[in-house]
Amino acid sequence: MAVWFRIPLWQRVIAALVLGIIVGRLWGPGAESIKIIGDVFVAFIKMLVVPLIFFSLVSGVASIGDLRKLGSVGWRALLLFVVTGQVAVWLGLLLGSVFMPGAGLDTSAIPMGTVPEANETTWRQMLLGMVPQSPVQVMADVNVLPLIIFSLLLGVGILMAKEEGEPVLKIFDSGSVVMQKVTMVVMELTPFGVFALMAWVAGTLGFGALAALGKLVFLNYLGCLLIILVMYSALIKFVAKLPVIDFFRGIVDAIAVSYSTASSNATLPVTLRCAERNLGISNSVASFVISLGATINMNGTAMYLGLATLFGAQIFGVDLSWGDYFMIALLGTLGAVGAAGIPGAGLIMMALVFGAVGVPLETIAFVAGVDRIMDMMRTTTNVTGDAAVATAVASLTGEIDREEMISADDV
């Protein structure tokens, strides 16, 4: 037992990931029987999402101590979200036009998945949905974006109330520490959850489907890796001016959890913990940038939306103009902002982009069978992006403990 705890958590998690793949490949579809362990793990992490955002964001915003400083963190984060999102979607378009994954594809060889219901959300509904009409309802529904807005407002209110707001601030400060401890306990389940989820994916995903759609899956991985290794590394090295290796070492847990759960939301508590403990980012910047990023900053999804739209256009022979490309770039970023941080959200958002440029929705059925394996990589890209932007913003605003990041020995 003591030996188990002496091994750093991230090493246990990586071992579980590799072991899960091996066991899943050997076991085959039967591995689905242990998926329940992964589901229990995800359910426990989801339990943390609402109280963690609520306590840590309110206490984070209030501890910034100055509304102007909140603004300087906010605009930098939004600017980096927009710039990285645009680079991502254009990268997807570039990969799709250079490698043409859909050209000459025999669609009859591909097993059809189910088409998810087309997303009917209009921008009006989206806008209204961001308003936390009933904060309690928002919490009960685990509706992250309005919850963030409510928590931000509450933090601002505490700042404005000055001395009179202090008793309320104390409650949130202490609640935030308590929630971090609860997160630590739940994180101990990670190796088991990651093992079970990886065994399930590796055991049930047929290689046949992969072979037919291999090019698309490959390009999805290539695009995501380029974003992570080139764009995020550059952000860390040139904007944050910090060692790239230490950054990636600090977020290993978040990478493993995002890859195996395919959900930014479910990974959020882990990302927050990595950012604060291992990267030395202040609670105020981490909770603000990462919670917001988990819902609106999805570069893996944006890249994929660009790539998949070209894939659909190629298999169905739809000609796209430059105007269409700009349309895809715009809707791809909007789709990534609107996509919830849950498995398969990117698949649903495809309908939004496809409809606008005349690509048949049947494409969704073609790719649905292999979406999970692509989703895992997209989510890892999304989550790494949140941590990278948070690191850059923290560094630019002096909210990072450089010593802690460089020396952090992850547990």
Task: Give the nearest distance from C-beta 402 to ligand ASP in angstroms.
Answer: 29
Q: In this complex, which beta carbon is closest to ligand ASP, that of residue 196 or of residue 296?
A: 296
Q: Using CA atoms, how far apart are residues 69 and 285, in angstroms rounded to an integer? A: 10
Instruction: Select the residue interacting with ligand ASP from 59, 183, 278, 382 (CB under 6 A).
Output: 382
Residue nearest to ligand ASP (CB): 346
Q: Which residues pair with 400 in a beta bridge?
A: 281
Which listed range, 99-107, 192-200, 317-325, 344-352, lies at the site for ligand ASP (CB under 6 A)? 344-352
If phi > 0 it is left, if psi is from -120 to 50 it is alpha, else beta; for residue 76 that is alpha
Q: Determine, following the binding rule CB under 6 A, whether residue 359 of this chain makes contact with ligand ASP.
A: no
Distances from the Cα of 364 to the Cαs of 169, 210, 334, 353, in angstroms? Answer: 47, 15, 18, 11
Taking CB under 6 A as the criterion, which residues in 214-253 touch ligand ASP?
none
Task: Give the nearest distance from C-beta 271 to ligand ASP in angstroms.
Answer: 11
Instruction: Select the residue interacting with ligand ASP from 301, 314, 384, 395 (CB under 6 A).
Output: 301
Q: Binding residues for ligand ASP, how many (CB under 6 A)?
A: 16
Judge contact between 116 and 364, C-beta under 8 A. yes
Judge contact between 367 and 285, C-beta under 8 A. no
Q: Determine, following the binding rule CB under 6 A, whether residue 297 of this chain makes contact with ligand ASP.
A: no
3-state percent breakdown (helix, strand, coil) of the chain, nearest 5: 80, 0, 20
Instruction: Select the residue interacting with ligand ASP from 152, 298, 367, 388 (CB under 6 A).
Output: 298
Judge contact between 346 and 107, C-beta under 8 A. no
Q: What is the crossing angle of helices 252-261 and 35-64, to 10°?
A: 130
Which listed range, 67-75, 102-110, 377-385, 390-398, lies at the site for ligand ASP (CB under 6 A)? 377-385
Q: In this complex, which beta carbon is closest to ligand ASP, that of residue 302 or of residue 392?
A: 302
Taking CB under 6 A as the criterion, which residues in 314-343 touch ligand ASP?
339, 341-343
Instruction: Select the residue interacting with ligand ASP from 378, 393, 396, 399 (CB under 6 A).
Output: 378
Instruction: Select the residue interacting with ligand ASP from 173, 375, 386, 399 (CB under 6 A).
Output: 375
Which listed range, 2-10, 182-190, 207-215, 375-383, lies at the site for ligand ASP (CB under 6 A)? 375-383
Task: Give the nearest distance from C-beta 258 to ligand ASP in angstroms.
Answer: 7
Burial class (CB in 10 A: 0-12, 13-18, 19+), 59: buried
Q: In this complex, which beta carbon is closest to ligand ASP, that of residue 307 or of residue 320?
A: 307
3-state secondary structure 53-106: HHHHHHHHHHHHCCHHHHHHHHHHHHHHHHHHHHHHHHHHHHHHHHHCCCCCCC
Half-sphere exposure of 144 (CA within 13 A, CB side): 26
Q: Determine, following the binding rule CB under 6 A, whether residue 386 of this chain makes contact with ligand ASP.
A: no
Q: In this complex, which beta carbon is closest to ligand ASP, that of residue 252 or of residue 294?
A: 294
Q: How many helices (H) and strands (E) does the chain have?
A: 22, 0
Closest by Cα among 290, 292, 303, 296 to 387 = 290
> 398 φ, ψ to 5°?
70, 30
Q: Using CA atoms, how far apart are residues 167 and 148, in angstroms rounded to an integer? A: 21
Q: In this complex, which beta carbon is closest to ligand ASP, that of residue 263 or of residue 363?
A: 263
Task: Give the nearest distance from C-beta 238 to ligand ASP in angstroms.
Answer: 25
Q: Determine, following the binding rule CB under 6 A, whether residue 306 of this chain makes contact with ligand ASP.
A: no
Q: In this complex, which beta carbon is closest to ligand ASP, that of residue 281 or of residue 345?
A: 345
Q: Determine, following the binding rule CB under 6 A, whether residue 84 of this chain makes contact with ligand ASP.
A: no
Task: Give the nearest distance from C-beta 387 to ligand ASP in angstroms.
Answer: 13
Q: Determine, following the binding rule CB under 6 A, whether residue 264 of this chain makes contact with ligand ASP.
A: yes
Task: Give the nearest distance from C-beta 336 to ligand ASP in angstroms.
Answer: 7
Q: Using CA atoms, how far apart are residues 315 and 317, in angstroms rounded to an integer? A: 6
Q: Using CA atoms, how far apart are residues 405 and 277, in angstroms rounded to an integer? A: 8
Q: In this complex, which beta carbon is closest to ligand ASP, that of residue 39 or of residue 401?
A: 39
**Contact residues: ligand ASP, CB under 6 A:** 262-264, 298, 301, 339, 341-346, 375, 378-379, 382
